[in-house]
Structure 1
């Protein structure tokens, strides 16, 4: 761009010098023509010059005229060149201005891009720092995952005995729920619920017996008879004996009932002798009502070939709530149907239960 500017400036200087020289030449010729005219006007006959002198002057005049014409032609040509050069110069100036503007715009773009590049570099630095922090967190999480996986692996290595006892507890809860739901379906108004330990069904004393009495009314005898029927339907899959109907479909965990105790309980009102006698009488009344309505219930045997149905009386010794309120005493006056399951001490005991139940299955086949 600078080279173009210098070239244009040099051409302008040459053009100016040429114009000045041309003007001087034309002026000189003009002066000569005036002088010649003046001398011609002063010629007198007495001052006539020779033909040679005249011819020489004419010749010089013609030469100067030809030279003036040549100079005029040259001036016209040069003026045309000057006009063309000025147009080219103007075009170059316009191009220079455009390029100058483009250069300024490009420099502004470069500054913007430099700022954007710097911003991106700052963003990259921030992302790198975040990546480093995340990498540290990932390493920590990997360690935590490894620790938890090791703990999970350790927990998954369950002791066979613990696993079996867990199945026993779950199966007992399922049996009690089935009995409770069946009884409530038959007698919706009856107050019966699972114990906190999910090992017994609880019937409030007034639910089966009138207060202070150990005899069953006909309506309550029907409740006990239906309870015996439902129990007789459940026990065959979890007991031995002639009534056993064990199969892996109904008892896949190979669990066994040790005893089903009919427990009598009272509140703390009255003498200890009276309450114990009353609780025993109520438990025995329930026992005989169940065995009387469903005699086959005594055919269900445990691993020791003992009848699983039995009786226990605790009087006021095992309250489930306070005896200080009327509602609490009513809750403590109850009959519990408690399921006691066979709980082996080791894996050999588990295998003994499996063999006993399998023998029943093989016999039935």
Structure 2
């Protein structure tokens, strides 16, 4: 009986030794594979190949900049004296508030209505290639990177003169006035939709909360009294969503071609 137990023990010990050898070999292979993965990543980095999601987001940011530059250049042609700049973050066009409104007023100046109407028309021409809905007109010629606009936000801003609450009300009223003037000129602006089938055009008022310079001078206050046209791009959370976006835009293109035929 004792000999049988000892034999079984010796057999188990031998199996354990073999398993330890196998584990050691597997650990070596893991280390070798990790080294190979690191080497391949370094090679990919040298080749300039990035993660698909990172590449898509970078291309989308560049496309947003191109959209803003297109709008800016077209408005300069329409109104050479108009002061409109692209924000430092390359996400918005900025118009001085006093250029469109009288000080302390949310009524659009009669001699500035043509500016707002032209902005509406220019925007209405660009949006079909970056949005969904019945008016979507995507093509690789105008949007090779399959970028999609999440929102076009009309933002009202004021200087710090007056109370915070009154400035908040004033900025919101100016944004609403701009929205109403734009949609009166181009009613179809509200038909451009994002991936959740929501209208991309929206409004917001920030009062004095988001100055772009200090309010210690008349020039600074004039700069802070402004309307911003902010473009917010759709940003997928995972690489898999990129294909979904492409399929949606391709489907919209196919549907449009079907209508044309």
Normalised-by-shorter TM-score class: 0.7 to 0.9
Q: What residue number does 2:137 align with?
A: 245
Per-residue deviation, 1:317: 0.5
Three-state SS of the structure 1 residue aligned to 2:206 is strand
Higher relative contact order (CA 8 A, sep 6+): 2
Per-residue deviation, 1:151: 5.1
Per-residue deviation, 1:154: 1.9
Q: What residue number does 1:363 align with?
A: 255
Write the distance in 2 (CA, Å) between the matches of 1:338 and 1:226.
17
Q: What residue number does 1:171 align with?
A: 63
Match of 2:211 among 319, 328, 331: 319
Q: Which has the larger radius of gyration?
A: 1
Instruction: Say yes or no: does 1:338 pair with 2:221.
Output: no
Instruction: For structure 2, list consecutive stretches of 5 or more residues without a partner in the other structure.
Output: 1-40
Instruction: Say yes or no: does 1:197 pair with 2:73.
Output: no
Match of 1:274 among 163, 166, 173: 166
Match of 1:348 among 237, 240, 246: 240
Write the distance in 2 (CA, Å) between the matches of 1:293 and 1:157.
45
Q: What residue number does 2:45 align with?
A: 154
Instruction: Say yes or no: does 1:306 pair with 2:198.
Output: yes
Q: What residue number does 2:21 align with?
A: none
Per-residue deviation, 1:321: 0.6
Per-residue deviation, 1:349: 1.5
Per-residue deviation, 1:153: 3.8
Per-residue deviation, 1:152: 6.2
Q: TM-score, normalised by structure 2?
A: 0.81
Q: TM-score, normalised by structure 1?
A: 0.58
For residues 310-363 of structure 1, what are the alpha-carbon distances to aligned partners after superposition, in whole Å with 9 as ceiling and x for unaligned? 001100110011111111111011000000000001111211211111110111
Write the distance in 2 (CA, Å) between the matches of 1:282 and 1:301.
23
For residues 52-105 of structure 1, what are the alpha-carbon distances to aligned partners after superposition, in whole Å with 9 as ceiling and x for unaligned? xxxxxxxxxxxxxxxxxxxxxxxxxxxxxxxxxxxxxxxxxxxxxxxxxxxxxx
Q: Which has the higher helix share?
A: 1
Three-state SS of the structure 2 residue aligned to 1:315 is coil
Write the distance in 1 (CA, Å) between the matches of 2:225 and 2:202.
19
Instruction: Say yes or no: does 1:211 pair with 2:103.
Output: yes
- Does the 8 Å CA contact 2:44/2:50 hold for their aligned counterparts? no
Let me know the Cα RMSD of the aligned residues.
Answer: 1.4
Instruction: Say yes or no: does 1:256 pair with 2:141.
Output: no
- Does the 8 Å CA contact 2:168/2:206 hold for their aligned counterparts? yes
Q: What residue number does 2:28 align with?
A: none
1:11-26 matched pairs, under 5 angstroms:
none
Instruction: For structure 1, list consecutive stretches of 5 or more residues without a partner in the other structure.
Output: 1-149
- Does the 8 Å CA contact 2:133/2:191 hold for their aligned counterparts? yes
Query: How many residues are aligned here?
Result: 217
Three-state SS of the structure 1 residue aligned to 2:140 is coil
1:138-149 matched pairs, under 5 angstroms:
none
Three-state SS of the structure 2 residue aligned to 1:202 is strand
Per-residue deviation, 1:217: 2.0
